[in-house]
Amino acid sequence: MTFSIAGAVVSLVVLLPNLLLVVFPPRDDLRPQDAGMVATILERAGQVGCLVLPFLVGGPGTWSWWLVPVVVAIGAYLALWGRYLVERRTASLYRPLGRAWFALPIPMAVFPALAFLSAAGWLGSVYVGAATLVLAAGHLPNSWAAWRSVEKSVPTA
C-alpha cells in the first residue's frame, strides 16, 4: 500500500460535495425512500471503499486515456451539484438529465460510479474497481427508489 495523491483527489472531489447537503439542505420537506437494508449496506460499504481505497492503493495517476472519462464524469457530477444548489429541492438530487428518450436516469448516482470506475482504470487498481461495483450495487437502487418516491413532486414540462 502506498499513498496516492491522484486517488485522494478523485475521492475528495467526488465525495466532498455531499457536505453541501449539511450547509444547504433541500428547501422542501420530502423524505425519499431507499431500496432497503441490503442496498443501504452495500452503498455504505462502497462509499467507505471509494473514499479510502483510492488513497491507499491507487497508482500515481499519470496521463492515460482513462483520465478523460474521470474528468468528464466528475465535471458532469459537479455541474449537477450546481443544479441542486440553484433549485435546492430533493428531486434535484435524483431527477434525470435530459428529456424523453435521451434522459439519463439518476445522474447523480451514475456519474460518481462512472468516475470511480474510470479512476480504477486510471489508477490501475482492481480494488477501487471492486469498491465501485459494491457502491453501484447499493447506490443505484437506493437512488432509483428515492427518485420514484419524490418523482410526483417534480412539475411536468
pLDDT > 90 fraction of the chain, expressed in percent and rounded: 83
pLDDT tens column, 59-68: 888 889 999 9
pLDDT of residue 154: 67
Q: Number of folded domains in the chain?
A: 1
What pLDDT is recorded for position 100?
72
Q: pLDDT tens for residues 121-132?
A: 999 999 999 999
Full residue range of the structural domain in which residue 148 is found: 5-153
What's the pLDDT at 63? 84
In this model, does residue 143 exceed pLDDT 90?
Answer: yes
Contact between 103 and 151 under an 8 Å Cβ cutoff? The reply is no
